[in-house]
Amino acid sequence: MNQAILDTDTLSYVLGRRYPEVDATAHQYLRVFRYFSVSAATITEVVRGFSKDQNGAATTKFLQGAESYEVFPIGVTEAAIAGEIMGELERRGLKIGREDPFIAATAIANGRVLITNNIKHYQRIVDLGYPLQLDNWRQP
């Protein structure tokens, strides 16, 4: 098992405890590494969702829990990689979510595997030649 960054979908699965296979892998991951790692862009996505739903209590609860995560900031390196990814995807007419290039860039810049249920989506970045490693905790 390698150190990883959880994509927003996987973090929501972990927090919602909806999938036994994700729960088991998350538990195993925590035994080895003791905390989850996420990109600052994931914090943005989660808070945006709660804000859209006007759920201040959920935002507060999430942010309190997020204090136990390793949160990777988006620095110059991550921003530059994300910008390159966005430019190349746009040039090819490919789209992905707003924060996804930042999440992928964070994983790339920090040499982490990106854990996501949206492999097909992020595969577009891999297909551009970026060294993004992907894994899916929902797949056995």
Whether 101 is covered by a domain: the verdict is yes
pLDDT tens digits for range 5-22 = 999 999 999 998 889 999
Rg (CA), the chain: 15
Domain around 9: 4-135
Whether 105 is covered by a domain: the verdict is yes
CB 16 within 8 A of CB 111: no
pLDDT tens digits for range 9-61 = 999 999 988 899 999 999 999 999 999 999 999 999 999 988 888 878 888 88
Whether 140 is covered by a domain: the verdict is no
Name residue, tokens 């920090």.
110
Query: What's the CA gap between 31 and 67, in Å, rounded?
Result: 18
pLDDT tens digits for range 97-130 = 899 999 999 999 999 999 999 999 999 999 999 9
- What DSSP string describes 45-101? HHHHHHHHTT-HHHHHHHHHHHTTSEEE---HHHHHHHHHHHHHHHHTT----SSHH
pLDDT of residue 58: 86
Number of separate domains in the chain: 1
Between 137 and 1, residue with greater pLDDT: 137
Q: What CATH number has the domain bearing residue 12? A: 3.40.50.1010
CB 35 within 8 A of CB 27: no
